Amino acid sequence: MNKVISLRLSEEERAILEQASKEAPDRSAAARALIRDGWTFLILKKYREGKLSTGQAARALDSTISEFIDVLGDLGVRTPIEYEDYLDSEEALNELWEDADG
């Protein structure tokens, strides 16, 4: 369910929203897209800084590790897979097998 919120925006922020709304059906859609894109950017930045593992970043974006790696590749970001990431994948696969058996 969507909730209505009210924001106070500076003139600069309003101008950004107006510019973005030229690419979207309306201002609300533009604002939602900017929020999603901003969140993705923040997660990618934290990943690049080493503050998040591949698995943590994928979970934060509600995607699979494979989907996250595809996003990184699309943006030209190098994707060093670490042992922790392998363990995260193995754990997820084991959970899938348990759910299938159970």
Q: What is the per-residue pLDDT for 80?
A: 65
pTM over 0.85: no
- Measure the CA–CA gap between 17 and 11, rounded to whole angstroms: 10
Cα distance between residue 37 and residue 94, in whole Å: 32
Question: Would you write out the chain's pLDDT as a tens digit for each of its 102 residues?
Answer: 889 989 899 999 999 999 999 989 999 999 999 999 999 999 999 998 989 988 899 999 999 988 998 888 888 877 666 667 667 777 777 787 877 776
Predicted pLDDT of residue 95: 80
Q: What angle do CA 54, 89, 99 make, to 5 degrees?
A: 135
Hey, what are 99's tokens? 């759910």
Q: What are the domain boundaries of the chain?
A: 11-101
Q: What is the pLDDT of residue 102?
A: 60
